[in-house]
Amino acid sequence: MRFGVAPGPHTAPIASVSLTMRRVLYALTPAAIAHVWFFGSGFAINFFVAAATALVAEATVLKLRRRPTREPLSDGSALVTAALLSFAIPPLAPWWIPAFGAACAIVLAKHLYGGLGRNLFNPAMVGYVILLVSFPVELTQWIPPRMGDLDYRHLGFLPHLIYSLTGALPGDLTVDALTRATPLDLVREGLRSAQTFSEVRASSLFGGLAGRGWEWINSFIAIGGLYLLYTGTIRWHIPIMLLAGLLVPATLLYLLDADSFATPGFHLFSGATLLGAFFIATDPVSAAESARGRLIFGAGIGLLTYCIRTWGGYPDGMAFSVLLMNSAVPLIDRYTRPRIYGRN
């Protein structure tokens, strides 16, 4: 009697791509709910548009490449890209902003390199940087958060949807009257105009550590990141070293001159620090492979982010830092490969 033997490996994988992506989406859900609460329904609209575009772009490219579509469309990777992109763009944005960003992320950053598992750069950050460079005005249309004494004008779901589709706001409202500078923008411009950090943070946009609303959103992002660490979805090397690469110089310079530099707490809970540490930089495809390589990779992102925030031309810099370190991954992997047993 002959018995058929399946090809190796014979051990089932601990986690599939779809399970990993579902865990990431679960971990982002509390922060997404907080985002909608503080900044309105625009996040949900942007996510829906980005997700639909990402799935259509994925299916179109796979059809053109004559590849099967069922598994790639159901693995959740396109939805994770759409979710990360939605966190990066303002909630008050025309529909073509998330659509164009998602299309660039899927077509250029993912499938141009061969699809999932072969991309050199983080797709969501490629889409965001293309948007930031191409449409800088639309990428600065941040509305103030729903917090206390702020001059806040709540926009419901329907006004957000109408603006997304037509660009029209209710009544005599204008975009300039509705939007505000982000805390990172205020700190960057304030310090460069010879204001002290304590003077800048006197604005009603600031809370205890960072921007109002942003503190809560980033706290939920951190909780989601801890969930990913607990489930083994990500490893600790990149998050810890990214935060160290950002907070160590932030602490040293703040101690040297508290008037001219922002506090470490502000850097930790502002912008995309925690989102980058737990959800963006930890992309297993575009990050370094070895443990030593991941330490270098994370530290480089954190240090570059601090430099761009402090002396660069953009208020955050996380996306640029991730992409710059993505480009260095082949070199990092080359010099941090584990030694082969039996060789010097």
C-alpha–C-alpha distance, residues 120 and 328, integer Å: 10
Cα–Cα separations (whole angstroms), residue 71 to 58, 62, 66, 114, 136: 11, 11, 14, 16, 36
Residue 12 clears pLDDT 80, i.e. is over it: no
C-alpha distances in Å from residue 311, one per residue of 66, 104, 177, 267, 315: 47, 29, 29, 14, 9
Helix (H) or strand (E) holding 186: helix 183-192
Query: Which comes out higher in pLDDT, residue 209 or 77?
Result: 77
Give the mean pLDDT of the chain.
89
Residue type, 30: P
The whole-angstrom distance between residue 117's C-alpha and the CA centroid of its chain comes to 19
- For residues 300 and 321, give the distance between their C-alpha atoms in angstroms, rounded to a whole number: 8
Q: For residues 37 and 50, what is the distance between their CA atoms, to the nearest angstrom?
A: 20
Are 214 and 275 in contact, with CB atoms under 8 Å apart?
no
Share of the chain above pLDDT 90, in %: 59
Q: Residue 112: what pLDDT? A: 87
Each residue's pLDDT tens digit, 17-50: 889 999 999 999 999 999 999 998 999 999 999 9
- Distance between CA 71 and CA 293 in Å, rounded? 31
The pLDDT-based confidence of 205 (bands split at 50, 70, 90) is confident
How high is the pLDDT of residue 128?
96
Query: How far apart (Å, rounded) are the C-alpha atoms in residues 107 and 114?
Result: 10
Q: What pLDDT sits at residue 151?
A: 59
Q: What is the pLDDT of residue 230?
A: 95
Q: What is the pLDDT of residues 212-250, one digit of tens each?
A: 889 999 999 999 999 999 999 999 999 999 999 999 999
In this prediction the pTM is 0.90
Question: For the segment 63-75, what is each residue's pLDDT rounded down to a tens digit?
Answer: 988 888 888 888 8
**Token pair listed for 281:** 């930089």
Q: Residue 297: which of 317, 280, 272, 311 has the closest Cα?
A: 280
Q: How confident is the model at residue 98 (pLDDT cuts 50, 70, 90)?
A: very high
How much is the pLDDT for 343? 58
pLDDT of residue 160: 86
Tokens of 229: 């660490």
| Number of CB atoms found within 10 A of residue 65's CB | 11
Residues 138 and 154: their CA atoms lie apart, in Å, by: 19
Tokens at residue 150, please?
């702020």
Q: Kindly report, residue by residue over 265-301, the tens digit of the pLDDT.
A: 999 999 999 999 999 999 989 999 899 999 999 999 9
What is the average pLDDT across 297-306?
96
Whether 177 shows a pLDDT value over 70: the answer reads: yes
**What is the mean predicted confidence (pLDDT) over 195-217?**
87
Residues 6+ apart with CB under 8 A from 223: 30
Residue 284, Cβ neighbours under 10 Å: how many?
15
